[in-house]
Amino acid sequence: PTRRSSDLLDGSIRTYYTVLGSYGHNAGIVFFHQVVQPFVDYLLKNGRPSEAVQAVGRARKLMRVEPNAQLDLDLGALANRVDAALQ
C-alpha cells in the first residue's frame, strides 16, 4: 500500500478502537454486524491480518459476550476466518 493508504488505514484503526471503547460495553449483535465484522473484513482485504486478530480480541474483551449466545458464536466464526487468513 502507498504511504497515504497506510495512513488512512492507521487512522481507521484508531477510530475503530475509539468507537469500540465508547460503545462496545453496551453493544450487542447489531454493533458486531455493523462495526466489528465490516472493520475486520476491511483489515483482511487490506492485508492486515494481525491487526484483524487484535480487533476481534478487543471486541470480545470489551463487548458483553454471553457464552454460546449468537454474539459469542459470530465472534468465534470471525476469529476462525481471521486465523485462516494468517496461515
Residue 63's pLDDT band, with cuts at 50, 70 and 90, is very high
Q: Is the pLDDT of residue 85 over 90?
A: yes
Cβ neighbors of 56 (< 8 A, separation 6 or more) are 36, 40, 75, 78, 79, 82
In Å, what is the CA distance from 42 to each residue of 36, 39, 45, 63?
10, 5, 5, 20
pTM: 0.90
